[in-house]
Structure formats: C-alpha cells, structure tokens
Structure 1
Amino acid sequence: MDAQEQNWDDYRLFLAIAQAGSLSGAARLLGVTHSTVFRRLGSFENRIGVRLFERLPSGYALTAAGEAMQPAAARIDDEIAAIRRQVTGQDQRPSGQVRITTTDMLAIGLLPPHLAAFRREWPGIDLELLVSDMRLDLTRREADVALRLGNPVQETLVGRRVGRLAFGVYASAARQRAGIAGDLARNDWIGFGSGHAPLRQALKDWLPGLRPQFRTNSISAAVAAARAGTGLAPLPCAIADPDPELVRVAPFPDDFRLDLWLLTHEDLRQTARIRAFVDFIAEALAAQADLLEGRRPRDGKPAGA
C-alpha cells in the first residue's frame, strides 16, 4: 500500500464501526456525518481489496478479514494514544526553551532582573533573548514571545497589555548641576532617527522648532549619550529614573504614554513553559506600575517636579 493507503484515520474509522456496530454510531464516536463514514469505509475497502464488514439488517458485523484486522488495529491505536499522551505530558511540563524577542531598550533597561528571577523560579526552562528593533515574526516561530511597544496587529497573536511606559526629559547629573536653560528648546538635545515614530512625533508636537544636535536609532545609546552630557534626552521613566547618573528635568506634556504588550502565537499560549513565562513577566511588570508610569522618580519627588 502507498502512503495514502496507510492513513491511520481509516483504521480508526474501522475500529469505530466495529465498536458501534453501525455507521451512525461510528459517526457519533468520530464526530462526523453518517455519509462521511459510509464514503470513507467504501473507499478504504476498495483500496485494500478486502470487505471488512457484512451489511446486515441488524447492523454492521465484522467479516473474517475484519476480525483478523481488529486486534492489531486496536493494539496500534492504543500505542498511538499512549504516544500522544506522552508528548502532551512533556509539553505540559514547565521545561524546554522560551525564545523572547524585544527591543534593545527593554532587553537592557527593563527585563534583566525579571529574567533572572524567572530562572530562579523555573530552573527547567531555558531562555533565549533575541534583541532587535525589527519585529520578528511569531507566526513563523522566529520567536515564542514578544515584549513590544504598541498594540498587536496580527490576528493570530494573543497577549495582554502589561504596562504603560511614561517618558520624561533627562539630563546628566553633571549637566543639571551646571544649569539647564529655562527654555528647553535652547538646550542641546539627543533625538531619534529611524524608528521610534510615536516618540519623535510627540517631541515634534511639543517643541516644533527643536533640532537635536545628536541623533540615534537606539534608546540605549541615547541613555549613554545623556549620561555623558551630550544633551537632554526624551527617555522612558522606568529606565532613566533608577539611573543615578540621570536626572528628570521635565515631564512630557499631554500624558504621553506607550502601551507595553506581551504577545505569543495563539497555538502556543497553552504550552506550559510559555504560559509560565508570560504569567510571570506580566505579574512582575504589574508590580512595577509606578515605575513604568513615571510615578516614582529616584529622588522621591512627584512626577514632573
């Protein structure tokens, strides 16, 4: 028999009819229609060249060939069921690898302590962190979980909003001590080139004539430049407030925030290791809501002070 003739669903159909003694009973067991069972049985018998059932007024009875086939088919069915349980059980144990993708800003400035805490609680789960400002495709399994700014756009992704990132204007502590000009636009600024469109637009709406003297496509690079005294920088409060070398000198107007989403593919959300990771990180970030939303500057002053 060729590969098509060895379709195990045909043998499951055979076992269902043998168990039920009728096509309608087999249809109920398999969750298909009576006509589907009738058609598939005829096709199966034609392919193997053997009649498996006698069609009697009282129902379907096994022929001699059917009786010979039944024990082997039942044994194989039991073995396949055992394999499925074993595989499912493996997948439901919190072990294996979770591949996380996120931006450099979040990978460097936000996630490390949470990843370390996760590994302490779930030592059987290995983590791989893929740092990229380009969005890896979760539908193609380029990563298992994504921590992203902005709402998900792919229908096959599921997730939850795990926080809102507030932004402020920051300067190096040395620059702040030397004095910040009253008009913020008169100071040197660190701006952003490609990427970070919502942040760039918010800055443009606030200070239309602003022309940054230094640009980068990386929040992490902007943090380093601000520490070095290059200029004022629009930065996430959650990353800049804990930094002892940075001082928040002004809030962003209009309550500017960016939503933080934790996403995975819908086919993976019930996998034990994925569920464990998503639940853990969501809870950890929820506990940091004040920091994420800029309500807890390092110096203890109210946000924007």
Structure 2
Amino acid sequence: MDAKAENWDDLRVFLAVARAGSLSGAARTLGVNHSTVFRRIGAFEEALGVRLFERQPGGYLLTPAGEELRDGALRVEEEIASLSRKVTGQDLRLSGAVRFTTIDMLAFGLLPRHLAGFRDAYPGIEVELVVGNVALNLSRREVDVALRVGNAPAETLVGRRVGRLAFAVYASADYRARRPEPDLSLHNWIGFDSEHEALVRRMAGFLPEVKPVLRTNSVAAALSAAKAGMGLAPLPCGLADLETDLVRIAPLPDEFTLDLWLLTHEDLRQTARIRAFLDFLAEALAKEAPLLEGMSREAMDAPLHGDLSKLDEHAPAAGR
C-alpha cells in the first residue's frame, strides 16, 4: 500500500482529513472546498485499492489501513518539513515570501500599518497573512512566523516576548448613556466561545453570574457588537482604544493580560527575509507598548465608569 502512495499531495490531503476528522475541517485547513477534498480522498482510496476512512455520522474515522498509512505519512511529512526548513534557513536573500499568522484581534486593528511599513522597507519580500484563532503549525511549515498570545512557546520554536496585551471593559457611548447602572453584573455582556478559552475562564471567575447575550469566536466581531450598542465587552486595549465609537467603562484585573510572542522555527531563524520580518515587527510592537498595555494618552485621560469594587471581589486566581 505504501509503495502506491507516491504523491505527497495525496498524503497531505489524507493527513488533513485524519487530523480534522471531517471533510469540512480538512477543507478549511487546506484552503479548498469540501467537494475537492471528497473527490481527492475517493480517488486516493481507489488508487490504493483500500478504504482509509469509515464514513460515520459524526465524521471520518480511520480504518486499520488508514491508521497504518497515517503513521507512515507523518514520518514522510516530518522529513519533508525538516528538509524544507533547512533549505530555507540557508536563504540569504531579502526576497521571497514570509507566511505569517496571527489572531483576528491583532490582524484587523493593530498590524496593518506595520505590515505597510514593512512593505515600504522591504519591497522584495511578500507577506502572506493568515488570520485565525486556530494555531497553525510552524514545524510543518504551515506558516513561517506566528504572533501568538498566551504562555511560553514550545521548545522547538524560537522567538521573543514582544509585549503584553491588556484588556478592559468597553461599550458604545450610546449604551453607556442608556445603561448607567454601576453594577457590572446587571449589564448585557458580549462573550467568547471555546476558541478563546483563556478569556472565557477569566470572565467566569470575574463575573460568574453573567450569561453573555452573544458569544463569538472573533474579537473583531465582539468589538463590532459593542460598537452597535449590544452591551459590554472585554476587549484588548490595543484594539478598542483605537475606536472612537467605544468608551472604556472599567479596568479588568491583571489576570486578563496576555503575553504576545513572536515566533518561528529554529531552523528558519537565520533566513534573511524571516529575520528581517521578525526584527521589524518586534521593534514596531515595542513602540506600541503604551497602547497594548492600555496606557495610551487617550485611555489615561478617559473617565472610568463601573462598580470598581467588584474588581477585587470577582478577580480570578492568577494563572494562564
């Protein structure tokens, strides 16, 4: 069976389905449509003469043959990725592409002006921006550089902590005028789903009695809902303080603060275009520290509203 699996692209599609457990999840990972994945898997199974997946109502489950192929394909994937990283790591040209990923809260509000500045400084380097809350794999070369929030990175990754992202409670000026009551627990809240598990956990400790009127996997969508007057939202200061339609209602405990990490794989850190991108973005984000940490001049001058006594009462235990 392995001898017939000569096309790496077929194996790549197969692994995407094996990891996702569904055609739709694999299609999102691969950037193609559902029908393309369905057709490719069917043709691959026909060429091999064996069923790789059991089609179940809950998704695609590997057969024993599929499990055997997956184990071999993972080894092939790692060898190809390792070779690609090592070859790319020797590239001394300030040209080519840098595939970069970050989450929506940073991509939509904070980064565009810095990506424009990088383009001006390095016109020969093309930046491919992938926006999403799911962490793409740097080791498999799904991306070259990642800007992530959270804990320290894995040992196989290198990079630096480039800032801290503070959060506060925001609402539209219209909502604040309509709902002036100081008790934060009495307000409508905009919350997040499991893709932002750290924020969900912190909000549950901060205001355990609150049930959001809207949950979303997108910080940008939460910001838009707050601007529309739907309620209060815990938002990053580096994004919300740029919005003239939003006012800061109250601070949030330090436990809401998230570290920002700029990362790449250790085999790529000496690639000239990646090194240039890392250095440029790290310097740019360092200059944004007052905004990221909620200490911008506009924010410091703005009046705070809300029952601040609740901050100590509901503050969650420290930890990430």
Q: Contact 2:89–2:268 at 8 Å: present in 1 too?
A: no
| TM-score, normalised by the number of residues in structure 1 | 0.68
Distance verdict in 2 for CA 1:211–1:117, change over 3 Å: same
* 1:132 matched to 2:132: yes
Q: Matches of 1:88 and 1:238 in 2, distance apart?
A: 34
CA contact (8 A) 1:98 1:274 kept: yes
Match of 1:262 in 2: 262
State whether residues 90 and 270 of structure 2, in contact with CA within 8 Å, keep that contact through their aligned partners in structure 1.
no
Q: Deviations over 1:97-131 (max 9, x none)?
A: 10001111111121111000000011111110011
Deviation at 1:253, TM superposition (A): 2.0
> In the alignment, is residue 202 of structure 1 matched against residue 167 of structure 2?
no
What residue in structure 2 maps to residue 173 of structure 1? 173
Contact 1:190 1:232 in 2 (8 A): yes
What amino acid does structure 1 have at the position aligned with 2:176? Q
- Partner of 2:195: helix, strand, or coil? coil
| Structure 1 residue ranges, 4+ long, deviating more than 3 angstroms after superposition | 87-90, 302-305
SS in structure 1 of the partner of residue 243 of structure 2: coil
Residue 227 of structure 2 is matched in structure 1 by 227
Aligned partners of 2:202 and 2:255 also within 8 Å: no
CA distance in 2, matches of 1:152, 1:303: 34
**1:97: which partner in 2?**
97
Q: Hey, what does 2:247 align to over in structure 1?
A: 247
How many residues are paired up?
219
The aligned residue for residue 106 of structure 2 is: 106
| 1:15 corresponding residue in structure 2 | none
TM-score by length of 2: 0.65
Contact 1:296–1:302 (Cα < 8 Å) also in 2: no
- Looking at structure 2, the residues matched to 89 and 287 of structure 1 have their Cα atoms a distance apart, in angstroms, of 28
Post-superposition CA distance 1:130-162 (Å, at most 9, x none): 111111111010000000001344221101000
Offset, 1:181: 1.5
Bigger-Rg structure (1/2): 1
Q: 1:147 to 1:299 in 2, by over 3 A?
A: closer
Aligned to 2:289: 289
Q: What is the CA deviation profile of residues 218-242 of structure 1, one whole-angstrom value per residue up to 9, with x for unaligned ones?
A: 1011001000001100000000011
State the identity as a percent.
Answer: 60
Aligned to 1:143: 143
Paired residues of 2:169 and 2:248 also in contact (CA < 8 A): yes
Does the Cα contact within 8 Å between 1:94 and 1:125 map onto a contact in 2? yes
* SS of corresponding position for 2:162: strand
- 1: CA distance between counterparts of 2:89 and 2:224? 47
**C-alpha distance in structure 2 between counterparts of 1:106 and 1:200, whole Å:** 18
Q: Deviations over 1:261-295 (max 9, x none)?
A: 00000000011100000000000000010100001
**1:41-100, Cα deviation, whole Å (9 max, x unpaired):** xxxxxxxxxxxxxxxxxxxxxxxxxxxxxxxxxxxxxxxxxxxxxx99982121111000
The unaligned stretches of length 5 or more in structure 1 are 1-86
Instruction: Indicate whether 1:189 and 2:189 are aligned.
Output: yes
